[in-house]
Structure 1
């Protein structure tokens, strides 16, 4: 499983409701903290914040195949219709629990591809397949394949100095697209090395020959606020409560607002 696959998998978890790219990126961070599954090592150097175009492509996922009869579909190897979910249930939390059940049973990334073929789902829908598999496992069903866990991912260590440089690059709103442009300008072979050089110059107060996009700057600010929210120990349930207190439309907006207030040195009306 490549770093690109891992990032795409994380982005796919937000396919419903067509969220905005900054929401997807923050969700990646949130899920990585929840699962803690050996996915941290090479992400900063390899991918960082992806452009909105790649995010949009990664989250465009079709729905599950319809089912006429749960028993007959199970026998045929096609996912059964999902049971009714309470209107008060958090869809994100339900999906997280299903995927967690999938991994806890020992299944890996390649298993999702095998299940996609059996259930006649798109191979690009592996997160959706994992959620369906987890749902069935939680119902006590047995999946049609044996689990084959992912091979351990070799973690890359990164020095505090390089981490600060990467952070400066992304916090300024730059993305992989700008890193590629900078690599060409500076005649650097690897765009990841261009990120380090760019971060070094930014920390020194220098201007770069390439400017970040307005969208990139907005995404960086949003992700910074959401990261602050979770770094302070708050979780999804807290965001739901804050959304009600602040009369915001959803928990996502509460995460952004909460992070904004925390960065400003304010305290929130509830404790994590």
Structure 2
């Protein structure tokens, strides 16, 4: 069974907790101080995916919102948070948990993991790349008292392997261009590379050198990567979830995520926002 790309886990986790009271800018600043050493995860003997920092380094190095790990404890020793603390803060979001949050929590508490979401996506004919949505749907059904068509199998524990900052840049280039694990498998086959994770590194290296790859990402994933980049700019500028809520109201946007993306787009274009961080 295809192993989970951990960068995809990171994006998934950030989306899950994007409206919590964690201060991403503060975490990001601390990560920059600590990120002299990088690690990636292995599941058993196979590399699951690219450059993920250990929980002790909080997560992600350069692009925090794109690299906050899922199903891993978030720790920040500088901020006095003990190792092993849950990724979700003890304080509830200002607007309380949503039905979506409850669905995801029900899925996790039932013992289901990432690979289960992939199987369910195939059974329900959902997008296998958007496993967060699959988990939410499964959780919704569980809360309604339904029995899922598969037994739960939590994600296996992972081992850590050190990678270099240069490799981390290569992984980021790969994902920021809109590529996913699916394209990595195709590239590995074309380049005769045994491990798709190594194909990501090679792809990132070529992208950084300005080369075109023989496989193109989907338009949907390119758009998602661009949104993620813009949302990252919002956090990195020092804004918080409360600021996104204010901007959504000012701009008549439907949700805070749209406000973060719009704000990030304006910031990257050198524009000033109507509110200060």
Instruction: Kindly provide the CA deviation profile for residues 92-148 of structure 1, in whole angstroms up to 9, marking residues without a partner as x.
Output: 59959x97xxxxxxxxx6x6539xxxxxxxxx779959xx9xxxxxxxxxxxxxxxx
Query: In 2, distance between residues paired with 1:32 and 1:153?
Result: 27
Query: In 2, distance between residues paired with 1:214 and 1:220?
Result: 10
Provide closer, same or farther for how the CA distance between residues 244 and 31 of structure 1 changes in structure 2, counting only shifts above 3 A: closer
Instruction: Kindly provide the CA deviation profile for residues 31-77 of structure 1, in whole angstroms up to 9, marking residues without a partner as x.
Output: 899499xxx8539x7347xxxxxxxxxxxxxxxxxxxxxxxxxxxxx
Tell me which of 244, 248, 257 is aligned to 2:253.
Answer: 248
Residue of structure 1 in register with 2:111 after alignment = 113
Residue of structure 2 in register with 1:171 after alignment = 176
Instruction: Kindly provide the CA deviation profile for residues 157-208 of structure 1, in whole angstroms up to 9, marking residues without a partner as x.
Output: 3311001111111111111111111100000000010010011111111111
Tell me which of 191, 195, 203 is aligned to 1:198.
Answer: 203
RMSD: 4.6
Residue of structure 2 in register with 1:208 after alignment = 213
Query: In 2, distance between residues paired with 1:125 and 1:172?
Result: 26
Q: 1:25 touches 1:223 (CA, 8 Å); kept in 2?
A: no
TM-score normalised by structure 1 residue count: 0.51
Q: Which has the higher strand share?
A: 2
Query: In 1, distance between residues paired with 2:5 and 2:202?
Result: 26
Provide closer, same or farther for how the CA distance between residues 204 and 180 of structure 1 changes in structure 2, counting only shifts above 3 A: same
Residue 160, structure 1, aligned to residue 159, structure 2:
no
Query: In 1, distance between residues paired with 2:97 and 2:139?
Result: 13
Matched length: 181
Query: In 2, distance between residues paired with 1:173 and 1:271?
Result: 30
Tell me which of 222, 228, 231 is aligned to 1:223.
Answer: 228
Give the unaligned 5+ runs of structure 1. Answer: 12-22, 49-87, 100-108, 115-123, 133-149
Q: Which has the higher helix share?
A: 1
Query: In 1, distance between residues paired with 2:20 and 2:178?
Result: 21
State the SS of the aligned residue for 1:168. Answer: helix
Q: 2:40 touches 2:49 (CA, 8 Å); kept in 1?
A: no
Per the TM alignment, residue 268 of structure 1 is displaced from its structure 2 partner at its CA by 2.0
